[in-house]
């Protein structure tokens, strides 16, 4: 299968702070339930994990948003929890509840016994999806691969499901931090191998989703979230299958207080949630790395006029200098009106840096 480099490489150029004639845009969770075509494919698959683990279906839903809107990048359709699943943890996605592990990790023995999955065999379905998507995209736009951060994966593995207060993992953090570090160390190796396999399969940029880093104190964020991510970034093969540099995007939701520390991770791009002012982030960080974000996903539920205003405010706030990738501050949500997404993409593309 031949996979040419991208005809539209605005996204990759912006990641590397190179000049672009139009600000690139893609959306976290751009393939998902707000799209009727996603709901139709999802109804054909037995369940969500079958959708993720069948390369033809994963490819189909990856392409849906980029066929409907002129987005500047595609993101692999998968989930961050493929790794704990491949480690042997029993995972189910329950309607209205999200992911649930039937036996959360709670003891030393289970943590010590966790294997590092071989991405080329146990997660081969992900690599097959990457290869198939690259082939189907035929170089029109780049493909982003991704993984969860070790801290965020550990949150789900220890809590067993989504959580408000992270009682179990924080109890471990404050009673046996070395044990937590042991788990994070296993996850560093698993995520680094997984992302390198995605890069070898054809991912042209990779993103670390640290959805729950913002739940930590500043000191704990550095030790238990940022440090493991920094180790992963330094272990990545940064040259893609086309010989081009593979940018790394680091997104910590709620990480606005720690941007300077995040910039030292080796990432090329920092993802910002909506609580940070884009222009202020740019002033704090200087011109050396790219910024991605940061529209409040709920702005898509507002009036067309205010959506355009909010979008332009972010573009103006960042200003004309290189290194802005427009995105939401977190994932798009299921009831989002499709026509508002079209309006958002058009507004970003019509703005001249
Ligand atoms: C924390 C997390 C997860 N998964 C992910 C994260 C990190 C990003 C974030 O903070 O949002 C990452 C993820 N999950 C999914 C993608 C697809 C790629 C994309 O289009 O961005 C990505 C990048 C598909 C998905 N992953 C999931 C869905 C919905 C499942 C469905 O179709 O029923 C999708 C489209 C399921 C999922 N998976 C997870 C949760 C909490 C849920 C339930 C969410 C919900 O029900 O709204 C774990």
Which of left, alpha, beta for 93 (phi over 0: left; psi -120 to 50: alpha)? Answer: beta
pLDDT value, residue 353: 79
129 lines ligand 1 (CB under 6 A): no
186 lines ligand 1 (CB under 6 A): no
Give the pairing of strands 91-94 and 98-101.
antiparallel
Q: Tens digits of per-residue pLDDT, 172-227?
A: 999 999 999 999 999 999 999 999 999 999 999 999 999 999 999 999 999 999 99
pLDDT value, residue 95: 84
What is the rounded distance in angstroms from the CA atom of residue 348 to the CA atom of residue 114? 45
Closest residue by Cα to residue 15 from 204, 185, 253: 204
What is the rounded distance in angstroms from the CA atom of residue 239 to the CA atom of residue 271? 21
Q: Tell me the average pLDDT across 154-165.
A: 97
Asked if the model's pLDDT at residue 4 lies above 70, the reply is: no
Q: Right CATH number for 10-350 from 3.50.50.60, 3.20.20.210, 3.30.1950.10, 3.40.50.20?
A: 3.20.20.210
What end-to-end distance do the CA atoms of the chain give, in Å?
37
77 lines ligand 1 (CB under 6 A): yes
Q: Starting at the edge strand that comes first in sequence, how are the strands of the sheet with 269-271 ordered?
A: 74-75, 143-148, 205-210, 248-252, 269-271, 290-295, 324-328
pLDDT value, residue 3: 59
Rounded to the nearest integer, the mean pLDDT of the chain is 97
Between vectors from CA 115 to CA 110 and to CA 119, what angle results, nearest 5°? 145
Which residues carry a binding-site annotation? 29-33, 79, 156, 211, 330
210 lines ligand 1 (CB under 6 A): no
Atom of ligand 1 nearest to the CA of 51: 32
- Taking CA atoms only, the protein residue closest to ligand 1 atom 13 is 79
pLDDT value, residue 96: 83
Asked if the model's pLDDT at residue 5 lies above 80, the reply is: no
Closest residue by Cα to residue 152 from 217, 91, 208, 94: 208
Beta strands in the chain (DSSP E): 74-75, 91-94, 98-101, 143-148, 205-210, 248-252, 269-271, 290-295, 324-328
pLDDT value, residue 319: 96
What is the rounded distance in angstroms from the CA atom of residue 108 to the CA atom of residue 56? 39
What is the rounded distance in angstroms from the CA atom of residue 247 to the CA atom of residue 307? 29
Q: Which of 27, 30, 32, 274 to mutate to test the pocket of ligand 1 (most atoms within 8 A of CB)?
A: 32
Residues written for the chain: 353
CA of 287 to the centre of ligand 1 (A): 31
CA of 349 to the centre of ligand 1 (A): 26
Q: Tens digits of per-residue pLDDT, 296-353?
A: 999 999 999 999 999 999 999 999 999 999 999 999 999 999 999 999 999 999 998 7
Q: Tens digits of per-residue pLDDT, 63-85?
A: 999 999 999 999 999 999 999 99
Catalytic entry in 34, 156, 194, 221: 156
- Taking CA atoms only, the protein residue closest to ligand 1 atom 44 is 98
Instruction: Give the start-to-end residue ranges of the domains of the chain.
Output: 10-350
Would residue 221 show up in a list of annotated catalytic residues for this protein?
A: no
Q: Tens digits of per-residue pLDDT, 228-257?
A: 999 999 999 999 988 999 999 999 999 999
Eight-class DSSP state of 256: G
Would residue 29 show up in a list of annotated catalytic residues for this protein?
A: yes
**Residue 216 has which token pair?**
């930590």
The answer to whether 209 and 146 have CB atoms below 8 angstroms apart is yes
What is the rounded distance in angstroms from the CA atom of residue 281 to the CA atom of residue 260? 9
Name the CA radius of gyration of the chain, rounded.
19
Q: Tell me the average pLDDT across 101-127.
A: 97
Q: Tell me the average pLDDT across 145-159.
A: 98
Closest residue by Cα to residue 31 from 3, 68, 81, 80: 68
Catalytic entry in 13, 29, 231, 282: 29
75 lines ligand 1 (CB under 6 A): yes
Count each helix (H run) and each strand (E run) in the chain, helices first. 16, 9
Tell me what ipTM this predicted complex has.
0.92
84 lines ligand 1 (CB under 6 A): no
pLDDT value, residue 241: 86
């Amino acid at each position: 299968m031949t996979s040419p480099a991208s005809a539209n490489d605005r996204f990759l150029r912006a990641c590397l702070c190179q000049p672009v004639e139009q600000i690139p845009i893609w959306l976290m969770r751009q393939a998902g339930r707000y799209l009727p075509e996603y709901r139709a494919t999802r109804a054909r698959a037995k369940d969500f994990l079958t959708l993720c683990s069948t390369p033809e279906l994963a490819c189909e839903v990856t392409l849906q948003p980029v066929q409907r809107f002129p987005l500047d990048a595609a993101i692999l359709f998968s989930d961050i929890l493929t790794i704990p699943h491949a480690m042997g943890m029993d995972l189910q996605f329950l309607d209205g509840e999200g992911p649930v592990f039937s036996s959360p990790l709670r003891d030393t023995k289970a943590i010590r016994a966790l294997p590092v999955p071989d991405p080329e065999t146990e997660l081969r379905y992900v690599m097959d999806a990457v290869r198939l998507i690259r082939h189907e995209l035929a170089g029109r736009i780049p493909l982003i691969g991704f993984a969860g951060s070790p801290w965020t994966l550990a949150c789900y593995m220890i809590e067993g499901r989504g959580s408000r207060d992270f009682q179990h993992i924080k109890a471990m953090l404050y009673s046996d931090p070395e044990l937590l570090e042991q788990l994070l160390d296993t996850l560093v190796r698993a995520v680094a191998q997984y992302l390198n396999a995605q890069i070898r399969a054809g991912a042209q940029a990779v993103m670390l989703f640290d959805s729950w880093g913002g739940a930590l104190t500043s000191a704990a964020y550095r030790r238990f979230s940022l440090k493991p991510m920094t180790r992963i970034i330094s272990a990545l093969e940064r040259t893609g299958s086309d010989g081009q540099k593979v940018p790394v995007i680091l997104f910590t939701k709620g990480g606005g207080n720690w941007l300077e520390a995040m910039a030292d991770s080796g990432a090329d791009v920092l993802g910002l949630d909506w609580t940070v002012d884009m222009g202020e982030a740019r002033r704090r960080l200087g011109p050396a790395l790219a910024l991605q974000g940061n529209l409040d996903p709920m702005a898509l539920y507002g009036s067309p006029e205010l959506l355009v205003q909010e979008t332009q405010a972010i573009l103006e706030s960042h200003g004309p200098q290189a290194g802005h990738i427009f995105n939401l501050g977190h994932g798009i949500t299921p009831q989002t009106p499709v026509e508002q997404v079209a309006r958002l993409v058009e507004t970003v593309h019509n703005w001249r840096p």
